[in-house]
Amino acid sequence: MLIDSHCHLDFFEPDEVAAVLARAAAAGVEEVVTIGTRLTGSEQVFAIAEAHANVWCTVGVHPHHAAEHPVPEAEAIAALTAHPRCIGIGESGLDYFYDKAPRDVQQASFRAHVRAAAMSGLPLAIHARDADEHVITILQEEWSSLGPFKFLLHCFSSGVGLAEAALALGGSISFSGILTFPKSHEVRRIAETVPLDRLLVETDSPYLAPVPFRGKRNEPALVAQTARVLAEVKGITPEALAEQTTANFRRLFAKAA
């Protein structure tokens, strides 16, 4: 089976979520994680996870929304993870491509989420776009200060330097439909070097549908397309890739085991 480790079911119409999940199951995608992007939306992702036995969730503030409210205290973020269906923190990180929030605010929010991950013992899903150097710096500084914490780089499309730094700190790397795009040669080269026990797959749906569905709405069922390409990159069968990424998910997101 496959697990979509990062999607946004709250971005779909409420009355279609069950059908989306049914199509995922038919494609061999038996579990999904719906990701928090605003703390004010936590109840919505909780409700989706409560309504579907194969859905988990996380809590966090996406860097696009980091300036909408005061940066939350790490303790407040960590407290939300008491919900039984909440298995992680995030997504949080840095996005210097869109710069929808001031960079110092994004950085403060990112650090708060890292500390919440350390407090809770749950993994942090990290969004990184055009900010590799600062993501590396913050991860390394917080690691030195806090000690080890669990994290993954979601929807990886960054450079080799960030991948190597994350792996050196024990992090995992998740690949989305971007891996399948014709021009994503560098992403595939990096994926080839990532140890098998650090790989996850995701859709980031409803965005970034993989080839041959690029340009259409993405949904969890299509993680199978990304997994097929990742298996080719790693030189293993799709079945072996599914088994490995599911085992990796269970180890990283231990609350979902």
Residue-wise pLDDT for 40-60, tens only, equals 999 999 999 999 999 999 999
Average pLDDT over the chain, rounded to whole? Answer: 98
Residue 255, CA distances (Å) to 29, 74, 83, 166 in order: 19, 20, 11, 22
For the chain, the structural domain boundaries read 2-256
Report pLDDT digits (tens) over 16-36. 999 999 999 999 999 999 999
pLDDT at 257: 84
**Is pLDDT above 90 for 82?**
yes
pTM: 0.97
pLDDT band at 91 (very low <50, low <70, confident <90, very high): very high
Task: Over range 193-197, report the average pLDDT.
Answer: 98
Percent of the chain as helix, strand, coil, to the nearest 5:
50, 15, 35
pLDDT band at 8 (very low <50, low <70, confident <90, very high): very high
Angle 160-168/185-193 helices, nearest 10 degrees?
20
Report pLDDT digits (tens) over 221-237. 999 999 999 999 999 99
**Is the CATH code 3.30.428.10 the one for domain 2-256?**
no
